[in-house]
Amino acid sequence: MSISVVILAAGQGTRMKSPTPKVLHQISGKAMLFHVIDAAQSLSNDITVVLYHQADRIRKEIEAHYSGISFHMQNVQEFPGTGGAMKGVEVRHDKVLILNGDMPLMTKESLLSLVQGDAHINMSVLKLEDPSGYGRVMIDEENAKEIVEEKDCTPEQKKIQTVNAGVYCIQKEILKQYIPCLNNKNAQAEYYLTDIIKMAAQEHKTIHPVYVAEEEFKGVNSKLDLAIAEEIMQRRIRNEWMKKGVIMHLPETIYIDSQAAFEGECILENGVCIQGKSRLCNAHIKAHSVIEESHIENSDIGPMGHIRPHSKITNTHIGNFVEIKKSTLNGVKAGHLAYIGDASIEEGTNLGAGVITCNYDGKNKHKTTIGKNVFVGSDTQLIAPIFIEDDVMIAAGTTVNKDIKQGELAISRTPLRTVQNFFYKFFLTEKKKQSGEK
């Protein structure tokens, strides 16, 4: 199918109350605009993004993630409004799908329903209990005749519950013919794209209203909208993965990034958060654990485990309050309270409670390498860079500051000293001391 897509993203987004451009705010780990670009890319190879406010920043961000996207700079001073945004946009194909950069919930299926058929214009419409804020659509025998913006509506028109959802598929010829004819004689002194409906209808062009789902075509204008859209997106992501075989306990408490992926049978307990491009395969993530951009396979994590980016954990047991960062663990047990950063640890190795890799010297990060079958006693500090060979035993409380050879025991102990009756001398009154001394 030969479709060009134009994404309108020049608006200021004042209601977002943020220094970040509205369309770069993230939903499920991805900028709103990128959700729109992804949907567009599923049906088009000719995508133009219209920019103005913070154009450089948005363009840079797009170019860092996508190639082959075109940009059009709107002349907002002279031609404000959605019609102004389309002025001078060049497209390759005969059909042009016009999307908004702040509608991250549109699905490919809905967009396909908008590009079908051979009407001059397909326009998205919603039937709403409360139509306020939207342009009202006059429909006559299956053909849309006119869109009147709320600010230009008569009290009678305001009662119309069929509204413009703001997405259209318009033949290139129609745009060529009518965009230059738009004027700004309206309540907002803007060039309205919606005015081409009336002009085209008067010249007997076919304008099909396509009824769409409100949930998908809700624009995000505020941080409240952002949170609502996030909830919808999360519900979709969770449902999708549950259908594909992921088990979730109390799914509504679980957060999953749009770029995360699961294989085999994974279990996610309540309160789990899977961020970034994490890959999980046959993993059991227990309650309230956070996994950031990591690969976890045949392993269990948590409860309350924290796996930070670029970790690879396979065939491993990670217990509660263990933090792992940028480390590779295979066949390891770390049952409780440990910090493992910039480490590589091989199978059969056991990390006791309170084991810490001292990976940062205040200036640089250093690596810890631990071989197979190493027993690391509780409360051990491993001062990196450090290399522990296979079959090593490290006694509890040891500060390891030199490499340990295969088969060795490492132990650093201050001899234990005991002082008789010290407790009583230190804490208790004379009387109690005496009774204690009895």
Residues marked as catalytic = 336
> Closest separation between CB of residue 190 and ligand UD1, Å?
7
Q: Closest CB to ligand UD1 among 72 and 312?
A: 72
Binding site for ligand UD1 (CB under 6 A): 8-11, 50, 74, 76, 80-82, 84-85, 100-102, 134-135, 147, 149, 163-166, 192-194, 219
Strands 312-314 and 295-297: parallel
Q: Closest CB to ligand UD1 among 53 and 336?
A: 53
Residue 65's alpha-carbon distances to 102, 225, 230, 279, 426, in angstroms, are: 18, 25, 21, 20, 66
> Closest separation between CB of residue 311 and ligand UD1, Å?
38
The whole-angstrom separation of Cα 434 and Cα 420 is 14
Q: Which residue is nearest to ligand UD1 (CB)?
A: 135
The whole-angstrom separation of Cα 312 and Cα 292 is 11
Residue 217 one-letter amino acid: F
The whole-angstrom separation of Cα 318 and Cα 306 is 9
> Closest separation between CB of residue 102 and ligand UD1, Å?
5
> Closest separation between CB of residue 164 and ligand UD1, Å?
4
Cβ atoms 348, 325 nearer than 8 A = no
Cis peptide before 155 (omega within 30 of 0): no
**Tokens 């522990």 correspond to what residue?**
388
> Closest separation between CB of residue 360 and ligand UD1, Å?
44
Residues whose CB falls within 8 Å of the CB of residue 173, separated by 6 or more in sequence, listed in order: 94
Q: Closest CB to ligand UD1 among 52 and 339?
A: 52
Phi and psi, residue 306, nearest 5°: -130, 110
The whole-angstrom separation of Cα 47 and Cα 163 is 26
Cβ atoms 122, 144 nearer than 8 A = no
Long-range contacts of 361-369 (CB under 8 A, 24+ apart): 365/341, 366/342, 367/342, 367/343, 368/340, 368/341, 368/342, 368/343, 368/344, 369/343, 369/344, 369/345
Q: Closest CB to ligand UD1 among 82 and 368?
A: 82
Q: Closest CB to ligand UD1 among 9 and 400?
A: 9
> Closest separation between CB of residue 191 and ligand UD1, Å?
8
> Closest separation between CB of residue 23 and ligand UD1, Å?
7
Q: Closest CB to ligand UD1 among 209 and 251?
A: 209
Q: Closest CB to ligand UD1 among 2 and 12?
A: 12
**Tokens 């076919």 correspond to what residue?**
206
> Closest separation between CB of residue 91 and ligand UD1, Å?
16
Write the burial class of residue 94 (CB in 10 Å: 0-12 exposed, 13-18 middle, 19+ buried).
exposed
Cis peptide before 309 (omega within 30 of 0): no
Beta-bridge partner residues of 241? none
Helix (H, G, I), strand (E, B) or coil at 126: strand
Q: Closest CB to ligand UD1 among 100 and 316?
A: 100
Write the burial class of residue 90 (CB in 10 Å: 0-12 exposed, 13-18 middle, 19+ buried).
exposed
